[in-house]
Amino acid sequence: MRAARFDALTASLPSLSPRQLEELHELVTRQRAGSESLRTIEGPARATECLFCKSGAVVRNGFARGLQRYACRDCGKTFSKATGTPLSGLRHKERFIDQGRHLAEGLTIRQSAREMGVSLGTALRWRHRFLEAAVGHQGKALEGLLEADETYFRENKKGCRSLGRKPRNRGGPLPKGTKGASGGKNLAAMVPVLVLHMRGQPYVADRVLGAMTKEEAVAALREMASPEAVLCVDGSGAFRTVEAELGVKVEALAVAYDGRTRAGPEAVFHIQTVNSYHERLKGWIYGRMRGVATKNMPNYLAWMRIREWFKDEVKPEHYLLTGLNRQLINT
């Protein structure tokens, strides 16, 4: 806008009615949020390398939907900072910062859809696109004192058109025949999630397993734990071969029902840290999120890792940058 037109706009402000001022304020707020979203996507520097051929012969090539486009003089392809990321192809990129804010605040799908004025399907699609890249942002080759333990979630088929079983109310009792001989839950009716937590640090790695077997536990821990680490586990048989196969020092604990280990409540070797993480995870999944579909569980585990990493300092741009596949956690 030219200076003369801007001066005319500011000069007209005293003549606006309260309702007009309120409408103007909403428009300015929305425009500022859009600019913040686009600035976050663009980042502080221009692209210097082609995403396709890795050539440095890259030049600016106009704008599309508010984002700077680039062209490669070698391969002839064009791209933007969102190309090749889970957020590529989504419209209304100027509103991405709002989606990041909703994730930071932990809003439900219905709340997010109502805030943005979009359908439930759009709000759900945006949520999972923002979390898709974070699934791979795991703690890898972690060293030091680690704790590993599995927890179980009831199978959830939200959004499935065919259940393959009789429907049940959320939070209702398990179907008949799903109790084990000892009175515990039949694990065949549950989905195991293995979590590895570094003691005293926010580094976390997790994996949804098909079954809590020795083969799957070893395969998951192979990338998570470094051979120089000390791994604390419970007495589960699934961890029995970890030390021999991975070369990781394992401290297997006999955990009592009151939470004590074989060496007492003040022992160095325990799994209380990861069990506390399990409690927070389940409280959030079953409480705030009201249960999640099993097929989407990896995305929600990634969301939990972001929450745990930043805690109260989490910001909307953290989720936006994560959606652009920039790893901010477990680094």
- Of residues 29 and 199, which shows the higher confidence score? 199
Determine what percent of the chain is predicted with pLDDT higher than 90.
65
For the segment 217-242, the average pLDDT, to the nearest whole number, is 94
Sequence-distant (≥ 6) Cβ neighbours of residue 177 within 8 angstroms: 186
pLDDT of 234 > 70? The answer is yes
Which residue would you say has higher pLDDT here, 89 or 264? 89
Q: Report the percent of the chain where pLDDT is more than 70.
A: 87
Write out pLDDT tens, residues 137-189.
999 999 999 999 999 998 888 888 887 777 776 555 555 544 433 344 556 67
Dump the DSSP string for 189-213. Answer: GEEEEEEEEETTS--EEEEE-SS--
The third-level CATH classification (topology) of the domain covering 138-163+184-292 is Nucleotidyltransferase; domain 5 (3.30.420)
Q: At what angle do helices 120-132 and 109-116 cross, to 10 degrees?
A: 110
Judge whether 210 and 164 are in contact, CB under 8 Å.
no
Output the pTM of the full model.
0.83
d(C-alpha 188, C-alpha 239), whole Å = 19
- Round to whole Å and give the CA distance between 221 and 240: 13
pLDDT of residue 304: 97
Write out the two tokens for 64: 């599309």
Q: φ, ψ for residue 313 (rounded to 5)?
A: -95, 10
pLDDT digits (tens, 9 = 90+) for 18-60: 888 888 777 777 666 668 889 999 998 999 999 999 999 999 9
Helices 120-132 and 96-105 sit at what angle, rounded to 10 degrees? Answer: 80
* The two structure tokens encoding residue 269: 């070797």
Six-digit token string for 41:
């996507």
Res 99: pLDDT: 94
- List the domain boundaries for the chain: 138-163+184-292
Nearest alpha carbon to residue 222 among 102, 140, 117: 140
Dihedral sign for Cα 34, 40, 41, 43, please.
positive
pLDDT at 179: 44
Distance in angstroms (rounded) separating the CA atoms of residues 177 and 185: 10
C-alpha separations of 69 from 33, 46, 63, 84 in Å: 21, 10, 5, 13
